[in-house]
Structure 1
Amino acid sequence: MFSENKKNRGVSSDAVKEQNKIAQGTTITGNIEGKGSFRIEGKVEGTLRTAGKIVVGKTGYIDGEIECENADFEGKFTGKIVVKDTLTLKSSAHIEGEVITGKLDVDPGATFNATCSMKGAVKSLNDERKSGKGKGEKTA
């Protein structure tokens, strides 16, 4: 009885921990959805959604939309990317388009030609401004 419960738990958690890999020389066109992480060394044209992490290697290229928890880029991206937590750009990364993220980590040498919104920071700044005006603060 107990061994069956352990096996069932292991299957569901392992499925989320597994990493999907798109190898160099591979091109995928279309929508990709998953629960685990992805490593992209090839080319993806379309939408990539996952509850996990996306790693784009030096030879990787994504043209389309990404929605994920965390992302590390060494390769190229064109389109719209939504990262719930941290977007990390290594020195060889080349990003163009629209970026929405919680945190942004950019190494020197990375190319970042994008509009960028940082969800947490933007909201808190607006809230502080509203609360400051409402308290009757005066400036010189």
Structure 2
Amino acid sequence: MFNKTQNKKQMAQDITSSSNTVGKGTTINGDIETFGNIRIDGRVVGNIKTKSKLVLGSTSHIEGNVLSQNAEIEGEVKGVVEITELLVLKPSAVVHGDIITNKLVVESGATFNGSCKMGVATKSIKIGDEVANGQATPKFKEAKAV
């Protein structure tokens, strides 16, 4: 039998290894929070927060702030992009807003309009207030959009 510590470790591992997709042609009005990876090829009007990797495909349009551990952007973002580790802007990326990241890769052709802070101290990403009994209580702290 598993004890409580093993159950919590297994639940945390399951949550962070999850994968989410918002397909092309899909529009979401509201904030997205996830512990796992997320790929967005559609449109999101709201903030996005993940403790893992965010991939914004070439057809993605985001109107809101982004907070993630790692990110790869091919689409368009209007808002603050805050990445605790590595941000990659692909050639088709268009970012209208400030970037705060530890490491930044800008490929030839990417467009970025805003200020950039690099090498910032690692920030802890909190999803909800806390995770109690495997359930997160969602509360998204809104960052100021550009």
Relative to structure 1, is the Cα distance of residues 29 and 2 closer, same or farther in structure 2, using a 3 angstrom cutoff?
Answer: closer
Q: Percent identity?
A: 40
CA positional deviation for 1:18: 1.0
* Structure 2 equivalent of residue 68 of structure 1: 68
Note the residue ranges of structure 1 that are not aligned, 5 or more in a row.
122-140
* Structure 2 equivalent of residue 18 of structure 1: 18
* Structure 2 equivalent of residue 32 of structure 1: 32
* CA RMSD between the two structures: 2.0
Relative to structure 1, is the Cα distance of residues 13 and 78 closer, same or farther in structure 2, using a 3 angstrom cutoff?
Answer: same
CA positional deviation for 1:100: 0.6
Superposed, 1:1-140 pairs within 5 Å as 1=1, 9-120=9-120
Aligned residues of 2:53 and 2:68 also touching (Cα < 8 A): yes
Runs of 4+ off more than 6 Å: 3-8
Question: Could you tell me which amino acid in structure 2 is paired with residue 78 of structure 1?
Answer: K
CA distance in 2, matches of 1:71, 1:50: 10
Question: Could you tell me which amino acid in structure 2 is paired with residue 42 of structure 1?
Answer: G
Question: Normalized against structure 1, the TM-score is what?
Answer: 0.78
Aligned residues of 2:45 and 2:62 also touching (Cα < 8 A): yes
Relative to structure 1, is the Cα distance of residues 2 and 55 closer, same or farther in structure 2, using a 3 angstrom cutoff?
Answer: same
CA distance in 1, matches of 2:91, 2:32: 27
Instruction: Name the structure with the higher helix share.
Output: 1
CA distance in 2, matches of 1:110, 1:49: 23
Question: Could you tell me which amino acid in structure 2 is paired with residue 44 of structure 1?
Answer: V
CA distance in 2, matches of 1:56, 1:18: 17
Q: Deviations over 1:2-26 (max 9, x none)?
A: 6998776444312211111111111
Instruction: Name the structure with the higher strand share.
Output: 1
Q: Deviations over 1:44-79 (max 9, x none)?
A: 111111111110001111111011101101111111
Q: State the SS of the aligned residue for 1:108.
A: coil
Highest relative contact order (Cα 8 Å, sep 6+), 1 or 2? Answer: 2
